[in-house]
Structure 1
Amino acid sequence: MGRKDEPPRLAGGGFAAWSRDRLALARRGAEECGDVWQLEPGVYVAAAAGPCESVLRRAQDFPKASSPLFPPLKRASGTPTSEERAYAHAARMRGLRAQAVAARIGEIAPQTARFADQWPTDRDVEVLPPVRHTLAEIGVSYLFSEDAPTLLAPASQLFLAREVLVRPSRWVWPRWVPTPARRFRTRQQVAFTDALRPIVRRRRSSGRLGEDMLGQMLRPSPHYGLLPEEAVVDTLPGITVATFETPSRAAGWILLHLARHPRAASRVAAEAAALPADPAATTSAHLGNLRYTQALVSEVLRLYPPSWLLTRQAPRQTQLAGYTIDAGSTVLVCPYTAQRDAREHAEPDRFRPERWLDDAGSPAKPGAFLAFGTGPHGCEGAALAMAMLTLLTAQTARRYHLSEPTGPEPGYQVTTLEGLAPVGLRLRATLRD
């Protein structure tokens, strides 16, 4: 029997059931146990909007695990200090804020148009690889501008290292064990930083720092001064991969919904018809006019948040939704169930982009939305991701009707280990009249 002040434990749950079908167990836990429930002793799931937002905003009570995918490389000169890391984060945020993204829409739009132009028609195509390549080009170009061609291949190898590192394994090795996957990760991280370092030195020596995100990081701060080179190069592998890895998963779900909901796709196409014939002439005003397209993107992100489960730790005993969470516990924050809660969204399992529009007579205003997280560790690249996904959606629907392959076999497989993705998704594009 559990204590009265601890969350209820799901009958028939546990790690074995969790590994078989995470999404189904997450939904059953929320339905049978409520807003917070226990998966295993010391492992709790925040399943509703209130507890999810509380955990994500209370970073001192529920800190993010200190195990970055690309930890600072070991060097004789040492690793960046906590103050330098804080400055690096603030500098990155200046380059990724909504205002900065809005000023560069004309750079993003042509690459999304090129993706649509190059889609082979009238045959089934595996979607995620070309989507990921396009979003990698956009993300790396946004971060590094004219130096992007030098860094695109090393960035793609960083993504591959990430994929190798997160594959399921029979063994959970201590962090200090140099497994083959970790050694591969380190080699790719070194290759990326070795390609980046001469760019940093050239920009600083010439005084032409650039207006991209790297340029923001190279500018001195009145409070911190000049950010050391090691702090610059160490902080960029993770954010570089993040600009395209998570949005690629989201794009797969969005394109699948365009195929499954032709009326919604036609409405996006009609809206996209007002975009400039020259994609480079696209501005933030054009992006703002894609209201239904943005609503569709938001609705897909609500139903299929690519980061559907976030992990936090409780270093000391604390309270959550009236329950006691013991020190050393793990809390799994579940946007997937929070965003499908009927208390937050009418008809929560129904695809209805109109819920995000504020027109008179539209359905109830939307409730919880945690697809980009919230609080101090919310997604830095949310504005960039929304711009990329909205323009990719508009340009694709503008040109094509999408459809799923016919036949008894499913056209994709759902993966949930590191994120929610339609792996192997195949779609067919037919030109619109």
Structure 2
Amino acid sequence: MGRMNEPPRLPEGSFAAWSHDRLALARRGADECGDVWQLEPGVYVAAAAGPCEAVLRRAQDFAQASSPLFPPLKRSSGAPTNEERAHAHAARMRGLRPQAVAARIGEIAPGAARFADQWPAGQDVEILPLVRHALAEIGVRYLFSEDAPTLLPFASQLFLAREVLVRPSRWVWPRWIPTPARRFRTRQQLAFTNALRPIVRRRRSSGRLGDDMLGQMLRPSSGYGLLPEEAILDTLPGITVATFETPSRAAGWILLYLARHPQAAERVAAEAALLPANPAATTSTHLDSLQYTQALVREVLRLHPPTWLLTRRATRQTQLADYTIDAGSTVLVCPYTAHRDAREHSEPDQFQPERWLDDSGPPAKPGVFLSFGTGPHGCEGAALAMTMLTLLTAQTARCYHLSEPSGPEPSYQVTTFEGLATVGLRLRATLRS
């Protein structure tokens, strides 16, 4: 007999059932077992807003369970110290904070406009590759400015290495085994680093550090001074891929909702019509005026968080929602079910962008929103991602009516393994008159 304060368990709950339909089992667990439930012994799901927020904010009790997708490369000179990595992270954040993003909207907006201009109108198009390329151009340019064209091909290969590495497999190999996917990852990471190293050295030797995120990392801080070169290089592959990989998943859902909800798309188009004709003239004031567009983006992210499941490990025996969680247990944080909690959102399964607006104009904050996580390991690129997605949504609706292909076959497949995505999504764009 289990402990009295052990979370309830679904009778059919198991990894086999979980693998068959993870979204359906997550919903059923939340509905039948409550805010925290047990998938298997030692594996728990935080399904509601309160427990999800608690796990994500209590990093001392619930540590990130996975290793970095792009771990530091092995070098004869030695890896950066933990202190150097912490300072590199702080320097990186200086270039990604909301104020920094707001100051560079005029550099982000042209990429969103180019995506809209280059969409092949009048035909069914598999859209995610086009979205990913557009967002990669925007993200890499935000990080590296004029050096982006040099680094973009290497960033694309890093993304491919990520896709190969996270592909579902029957076997989970120990981290020390150099599988083909891991060797490919290392080769692409090394190629990216070798392309970036001369850029770092050229900027430092010339004194022209740049105003982009890399420039922020090259500037000495008052508390630490100059970052070692290796600390800068090691921290950049992961964030480079992150600038466009997760936003691409989100953009697929957003474009699908523009196609399925033409009245909402009309409201977005009306707002976007007031943007400058020259996208480079776009400012934070223009972005702030896209209130309904931002609300639509947030609502789609609420319904379909691109990172719908986060894994944490209990570092010690602790309490979660009045249950005892033993040290070493795995806790799966589920924004997907937390966002569908009727205690937080009225009619939670309905698409209602208006829920993010109030009568006075500025976006309201009703209840939980965990699409970018929260706490010490929340998404550091959240401001950049929201800006990219808002402008991409506005520029697309400004130019086109979107529709799904006619016919009995679905226009996409939902995948849940690494994130919530519309794989193979096909849409048709018709020019607005």
TM category, shorter: over 0.9
Q: Deviations over 1:129-166 (max 9, x none)?
A: 00000000000000000000110000000000000000
Alignment of 1:250-289 (within 5 A): 250-289=250-289
Equivalent position of 1:408 in the other structure: 408
Equivalent position of 2:144 in the other structure: 144
* Whole-angstrom distance in 2 between the partners of 1:150 and 1:422: 30
Equivalent position of 1:165 in the other structure: 165
Matched, 1:349 2:349: yes
Equivalent position of 2:132 in the other structure: 132
* Whole-angstrom distance in 2 between the partners of 1:109 and 1:27: 37
Matched AA of 1:366: P
Name the stretch that deviates more: 188-197 or 4-13.
4-13
Which SS does the other structure have where 2:251 is aligned? Answer: helix
Q: In 2 relative to 1, CA 200–365 (structure 1 residues): closer, same or farther, beyond 3 Å?
A: closer
Matched, 1:391 2:391: yes
Alignment of 1:172-321 (within 5 A): 172-321=172-321
Which SS does the other structure have where 1:30 is aligned? Answer: helix
Matched, 1:83 2:90: no
* Whole-angstrom distance in 1 between the partners of 2:288 and 2:329: 43
Contact kept? 2:143, 2:212, Cα under 8 Å: yes
* Whole-angstrom distance in 1 between the partners of 2:339 and 2:22: 16
Superposed displacement of residue 229, structure 1 = 0.4
Q: In 2 relative to 1, CA 51–144 (structure 1 residues): closer, same or farther, beyond 3 Å?
A: same
Which SS does the other structure have where 2:64 is aligned? Answer: coil
Which SS does the other structure have where 1:63 is aligned? Answer: strand
* Whole-angstrom distance in 1 between the partners of 2:3 and 2:373: 31
Equivalent position of 1:22 in the other structure: 22
Contact kept? 2:401, 2:432, Cα under 8 Å: yes
* Whole-angstrom distance in 2 between the partners of 1:10 and 1:80: 45
Contact kept? 1:102, 1:283, Cα under 8 Å: yes
Matched, 1:422 2:422: yes
Contact kept? 1:140, 1:148, Cα under 8 Å: yes
Contact kept? 1:128, 1:425, Cα under 8 Å: yes
Contact kept? 1:73, 1:234, Cα under 8 Å: yes
Q: Deviations over 1:33-69 (max 9, x none)?
A: 0000000110000000000000000001001125000
Which SS does the other structure have where 1:268 is aligned? Answer: helix
Q: In 2 relative to 1, CA 144–316 (structure 1 residues): closer, same or farther, beyond 3 Å?
A: same
Matched AA of 2:166: V
Superposed displacement of residue 364, structure 1 = 9.0
* Whole-angstrom distance in 2 between the partners of 1:233 and 1:285: 34
Equivalent position of 2:37 in the other structure: 37
Matched, 1:73 2:76: no
Superposed displacement of residue 2, structure 1 = 2.1
Contact kept? 1:95, 1:212, Cα under 8 Å: yes
TM-score, structure 1 length as denominator?
0.99
Q: Which runs of 5+ in 1 are unaligned?
A: none
Equivalent position of 2:62 in the other structure: 62
Superposed displacement of residue 360, structure 1 = 5.4
* Whole-angstrom distance in 2 between the partners of 1:318 and 1:44: 13
The sequence identity of aligned pairs, in percent, is 85
Contact kept? 2:291, 2:362, Cα under 8 Å: no
Q: Deviations over 1:216-246 (max 9, x none)?
A: 1111112122110000000000000000000
Q: Deviations over 1:62-93 (max 9, x none)?
A: 01125000000001111111111110110111
Equivalent position of 1:108 in the other structure: 108
* Whole-angstrom distance in 2 between the partners of 1:408 and 1:205: 61
**Count of aligned pairs between the two proteins:** 433
* Whole-angstrom distance in 1 between the partners of 2:409 and 2:225: 59
What RMSD in Å do the two structures reach over aligned CA positions?
1.2
Contact kept? 1:354, 1:362, Cα under 8 Å: no
Which SS does the other structure have where 1:429 is aligned? Answer: strand
Which SS does the other structure have where 1:263 is aligned? Answer: helix
Q: Which runs of 5+ in 2 are unaligned?
A: none
Contact kept? 1:79, 1:230, Cα under 8 Å: yes
Q: Deviations over 1:9-43 (max 9, x none)?
A: 11111100000000000000000000000001100
Matched AA of 2:410: P
Contact kept? 1:253, 1:422, Cα under 8 Å: yes
Contact kept? 1:299, 1:352, Cα under 8 Å: yes
Q: In 2 relative to 1, CA 361–431 (structure 1 residues): closer, same or farther, beyond 3 Å?
A: closer
Contact kept? 2:295, 2:363, Cα under 8 Å: no
TM-score, structure 2 length as denominator?
0.99
* Whole-angstrom distance in 1 between the partners of 2:131 and 2:226: 37
Runs of 4+ residues deviating >4 angstroms: 360-365
Matched AA of 1:355: R
